[in-house]
Amino acid sequence: MSDDPFEFPMAPYEDTIEGIEEAKRAFSTMERVEPKPELDDVPIDESPRATPQVHEFDRIVESVFNIDYAGNWERILAALKQGEDSRKSISPRKQLQVIDERCREAHKFFVNMKLALHERRCEIEKVQAAMRLEAQHALQSEKDAGTRTKTITDADVKAKMIDAHPDEIHSQEISLKKLELAVEHFEAMVKFMSQRSRSLQVEVARGVSSGADD
């Protein structure tokens, strides 16, 4: 037996007149398959739902960042205070409705705070890039003049920047750190509100099962 894995265990094919005629008859009875249209021939659905306009999606994105900071903040604090001071006078179901609404507002507020933090970092980087270039030129001038012999490092550049702009850099770094800590604080508040919501969901479920929920 041959070692060829593609060799079938049957008699070799004989190209005879009878075989050719039989093949022609078999081919003529086969169902013809229409060729599939090329990609360019496929009709394009130009309805508005098929291809949403980019500006519509942009409008949805921008709606996330259209926020009343002061109003949102006051409502979130009020919801937290309500949970602490008015727990006995308000039913768990009503508390849950309020806290869920405020959870959505809090998350939106948190996203906007993260965006504000990113914008602040970009602004500071833009200003400090010019300061950094100025410091590098100053250090290179010292080296060219022979007053400096060692290699210029990032720490040297930073020190030169602080030496030239001490108050501005200090103000930038303090304002950035405050915003970073505010974002961390609000993230903790969002988590706390989510935990409150889950606790109220359990209370409401227990009240419904016992028939005590109003």
Summarised one tens digit per residue, pLDDT across range 136-186 is 999 999 999 999 889 999 999 999 999 999 999 999 999 999 999 999 999
Tokens linked to 142: 């010292």
Residue 96 maps to a domain: yes
Q: For 202-214, what is each residue's pLDDT tens digit?
A: 888 887 666 655 5
Can you give the residue range of the structural domain that contains 101?
90-194
Backbone angles phi, psi at 100, to 5 degrees: -65, -40
Tokens linked to 178: 């405050």
Tokens linked to 159: 């020190």
Under DSSP, the state recorded for 86 is S
> 193 or 54, which is more confident?
193
- Cα angle 94, 99, 102; round to 5: 130
Q: Give the separation between CA 19 and CA 24, rounded to whole angstroms.
A: 9
pLDDT at residue 136, rounded to an integer: 95
Residue 67 maps to a domain: no
Residue 172 maps to a domain: yes
Residue 168 maps to a domain: yes
Average pLDDT over residues 10-27: 51
pLDDT at residue 211, rounded to an integer: 60
pLDDT at residue 8, rounded to an integer: 42
Q: Give the separation between CA 121 and CA 177, rounded to whole angstroms.
A: 10
The model's confidence at residue 77, banded by pLDDT at 50, 70 and 90, is: confident
Q: How far is CA 59 from the centre of its chain?
A: 17
Q: Give the separation between CA 88 and CA 25, rounded to whole angstroms.
A: 90
Residue 112 maps to a domain: yes
Residue 70 maps to a domain: no
Q: For 104-149, what is each residue's pLDDT tens digit?
A: 899 999 999 999 999 999 999 999 999 999 999 999 999 999 998 8
Domains: count for the chain? 1
The model's confidence at residue 37, banded by pLDDT at 50, 70 and 90, is: low
Q: Residue 103's closest CA among 185, 198, 181?
A: 198
Contacting residues for 95 by C-beta, under 8 A, at least 6 apart: 82, 83, 87, 200
Residue 181 maps to a domain: yes
Residue 159 maps to a domain: yes
Average pLDDT over residues 89-98: 79
The model's confidence at residue 11, banded by pLDDT at 50, 70 and 90, is: very low
